[in-house]
Amino acid sequence: MNSEKLKIAVLGGTGNIGEGMVLRLALQNLMPEGVKNEIIIGSRSLETADEAAKKALSELENCGFDTSRMTINGMGNLEASQAAEVIILTIRFDHVLPLLEEIKEALENKIVISPVVPMVKEGSFMAYRPPAEGSAALAIQKNVPESTRVVAAFHNIPAGKLRDVVKCKAVHDALVCSDDAKAKELVMELTRHMGCLKPLDGGPLKQASTMESLTPLLINLAKLNGLKDLGINFS
């Protein structure tokens, strides 16, 4: 990665995973490696996005970080997608396809990162319910321009540990899948600098279904065993 700022839009940046992504990506501006990110929080409501951006900066400042070197702004989803080079979809699967239709014109030649998991509640447990395409990632690929490079990543990351930028130093493995080698490497490099994640090459995008299906498994394991914030580590 170079020293130029990379503009990253986190659509749905007001939810738990989205908030954690915003904090971790903003903190990369303080690293000596020259990583620079301009973070844009996207929401259906500009007011909600603006409030989330102010909240993120305030939270980081209260934790003792120098926010003068960070840029976090709020925009509507379409405006955020137009402004960004990388777009992260931190929203529920049933909202993904309508959102993609809304922002499709802004996705030409962009990188779209999907941590989206199609799952439903069955009784007391969560179950994986992929669409006809086989995974959320493949459904997203089908509904974006041909020039859009889709990367599947961040499915199995515990939101609590992602948001805890002060105490959480535990490193979890983060699987990354894509059919585009350059897009995959960029996402893996971003992941390396998050402070709590180690990226692993998960193969082509068709492997995303395996990654996605691990999320309901982790949720169910946590519920059954009285645990929280479970992640994945391979050794």
How confident is the model over 113-154, as pLDDT tens digits? 999 999 999 999 999 999 999 999 999 999 999 999 999 999
pLDDT digits (tens, 9 = 90+) for 197-228: 999 999 999 999 999 999 999 999 999 999 98
Is 230 part of a structural domain of the chain? no
At residue 4 the predicted structure's pLDDT band, cuts being 50, 70 and 90, is low
Number of domains in the chain: 1
Domain enclosing residue 173, as ranges: 6-224
Is 1 part of a structural domain of the chain? no
Which distant-in-sequence residues (6+ apart) come within 8 Å of 126 by Cβ? 119, 120, 215, 216, 219, 220
Is 143 part of a structural domain of the chain? yes
Task: State the DSSP string of 56-112.
Answer: HHHHHHHTT--GGG-EEEEEEHHHHHHH-SEEEE-S-HHHHHHHHHHHGGG-TT-EE
Is 232 part of a structural domain of the chain? no
Is 201 part of a structural domain of the chain? yes
At residue 34 the predicted structure's pLDDT band, cuts being 50, 70 and 90, is low
Rounded to two decimals, the pTM is 0.95
Residue 2 above 60 pLDDT? no
Residue 1 above 70 pLDDT? no
Is 233 part of a structural domain of the chain? no
Is 234 part of a structural domain of the chain? no
The C-alpha atoms of residue 104 and residue 112 are separated, in whole angstroms, by 11
CATH number, domain of 125, equals: 3.40.50.720
Give the pLDDT confidence score for residue 171 in this predicted structure: 82
CA dihedral 137, 2, 39, 156 (to 10 degrees): 40
Is 117 part of a structural domain of the chain? yes
Neighbour count for residue 35 (Cβ, 10 Å):
20
pLDDT digits (tens, 9 = 90+) for 74-103: 999 999 999 999 999 999 999 999 999 999
* Residue that the structure tokens 């609590």 belong to: 160
Give the pLDDT confidence score for residue 228 in this predicted structure: 87
pLDDT digits (tens, 9 = 90+) for 166-204: 876 668 999 999 999 999 999 999 999 988 899 999 999
Mean pLDDT, residues 13-30 taken together: 90
Q: Which pair of tokens denotes residue 54?
A: 């102010």
